[in-house]
């Protein structure tokens, strides 16, 4: 093979690799049923049993042995239309025995769907928070196509929806983003800071290119950045809590620190251990305490 053909082949590989990595930030599970049609959901070795009450829109989830997965809170389902044009599905998690001190607006990560992702944020309910969460376009029961463009539009639309939800109107809003959702939280929170009390960013990357370079050092340079979290966060003047694990293999610690370094005060960096976005599974009390102090919640 002569040098010219080798150059053409290399450029072709670069082009296809670039396109592939630009589309490789979303790994949704799509459910081709309505929520009221779902009875059993299996994820790996985990089997969940669902019951949906159409009248009050309440969801009850049990494990395969019939034991409730959420004794301390109720789950109310809702739908809304995003600026992406897609009908999106979400849940409101309300504590049963605690008067909430604030509403968490949750942006979850780029894999699976709400049926598994709600478990990553629900530990905060024990510490006085109510939570509103949703699936991006193409995830779970939400319509449309999963993409970087749609996810950002959906996140902006969801914050507007959360602000006007009847259960949120009398409470302060805190955006809590995990992984890809943390990237979105830095951008949306910074550009809509008048709506919120503060931002929590857990296990997030600073830009698409930086995350791609971590996964594939050479080809990652070809990925289009779009909005950069570490640049958008400069606009924000509300308190910011950045949480990142030194054991995170998915998103390395230094990417979370890049966001933190660019953030304005007041800010706090909480370095933990354990795998990617597992902070609330192991440090929920500590995280809740830091949130209450940083965001002045009582």
Q: What is the rounded CA–CA span in Å between residue 47 and residue 118?
A: 15
| pLDDT tens digits along 150-201 | 999 999 999 999 999 999 988 999 999 999 999 999 999 999 999 999 999 9
Domains of the chain by residue range? 3-294
pTM of the complete model: 0.92
Backbone angles phi, psi at 34, to 5 degrees: -80, 160
Amino acid 213: pLDDT: 79
pLDDT category of residue 110 using cuts at 50, 70 and 90:
very high
Beta bridge partners of 79: 89
**One CATH from 3.40.190.10, 3.40.50.10490, 3.40.50.1820, 3.60.10.10 for 3-294:** 3.40.50.1820
Question: What percent of the chain clears pLDDT 70, i.e. is strictly above it?
Answer: 90
- For 210, how many CA atoms within 13 A lie in the half-sphere containing its CB? 20
| pLDDT tens digits along 11-69 | 344 434 444 455 568 899 999 888 999 999 887 788 999 999 999 999 999 999 999 99
| pLDDT tens digits along 204-261 | 999 988 887 777 665 566 677 789 999 999 999 999 999 999 999 999 999 999 999 9
Amino acid 13: pLDDT: 40
Amino acid 223: pLDDT: 75
Pair 210, 255: CB distance under 8 Å = yes
Q: What is the rounded CA–CA span in Å between residue 19 and residue 283?
A: 38
Region of 234 on the Ramachandran plot (φ > 0 left; ψ -120 to 50 alpha; else beta): alpha
Q: What is the rounded CA–CA span in Å between residue 269 and residue 257?
A: 8
Q: How many CB atoms lie within 10 A of CB 163?
A: 16
Nearest to 286 by CA among 126, 103, 77: 126
Could you tell me the two tokens for 83? 């600026």
> HEC string of the chain?
CCHHHHHHHHHHHHHHHHHHHHCCCCEECECCCCHHHCCEEEECCEEEEEEEECCCCEEEEEECCCCECCCCEEEEEEEEECCCCCEEEEEEEEECCCCCCEEEEEECCCEECHHHHHHHCHHHHHHCEEEEEECCCCCECCCCCCCHHHHHHHHHHHHHHHHHCCCCCCCCEEEEEECHHHHHHHHHHHHCHHHCCEEEEECCCCCHHHHHHHHCCCHHHHCCCCCCHHHHHHHCCCCEEEEEECCCCCCCHHHHHHHHHHCCCCEEEEEECCCCCCHHHHCHHHHHHHHHHHCCCC
Amino acid 218: pLDDT: 56
Cis? peptide before 266, omega within 30° of 0: yes
């Amino acid at each position: 093979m002569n040098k010219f053909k080798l150059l053409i082949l290399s450029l072709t590989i670069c082009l296809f690799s670039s396109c592939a990595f630009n589309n490789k930030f979303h790994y949704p599970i799509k459910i081709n049923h309505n929520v009221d049609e779902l009875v059993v959901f299996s994820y790996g070795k985990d089997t969940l049993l669902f019951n949906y009450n159409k009248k009050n829109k309440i969801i009850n989830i049990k494990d395969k042995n019939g034991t409730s997965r959420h004794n301390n809170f109720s789950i109310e389902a809702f739908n809304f239309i995003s600026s992406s044009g897609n009908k999106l599905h979400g849940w409101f998690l309300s504590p049963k025995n605690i008067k909430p001190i604030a509403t968490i607006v949750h942006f979850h990560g780029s894999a699976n769907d709400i049926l598994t992702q709600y478990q990553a944020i629900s530990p905060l309910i024990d510490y006085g928070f109510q939570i509103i969460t949703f699936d991006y376009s193409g995830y779970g029961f939400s319509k449309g196509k999963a993409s970087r463009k749609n996810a950002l539009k959906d996140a902006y639309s969801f914050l507007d929806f959360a602000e006007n939800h009847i259960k949120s109107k009398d409470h302060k809003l805190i955006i809590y983003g995990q992984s890809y959702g943390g990237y979105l939280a830095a951008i949306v929170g910074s550009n809509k800071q008048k709506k919120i009390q503060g931002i929590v960013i857990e296990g997030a990357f600073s830009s698409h290119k930086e995350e791609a370079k971590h996964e594939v050092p050479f080809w990652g340079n070809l990925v289009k950045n779009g909005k950069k979290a570490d640049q958008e966060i400069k606009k924000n003047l509300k308190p910011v809590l950045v949480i990142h694990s030194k054991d995170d293999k998915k998103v390395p610690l230094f990417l979370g620190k890049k966001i933190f370094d660019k953030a304005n005060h007041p800010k706090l960096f909480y370095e933990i251990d354990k795998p990617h976005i597992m902070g609330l599974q192991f440090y929920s009390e500590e995280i809740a305490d830091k949130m209450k102090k940083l965001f002045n919640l009582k």
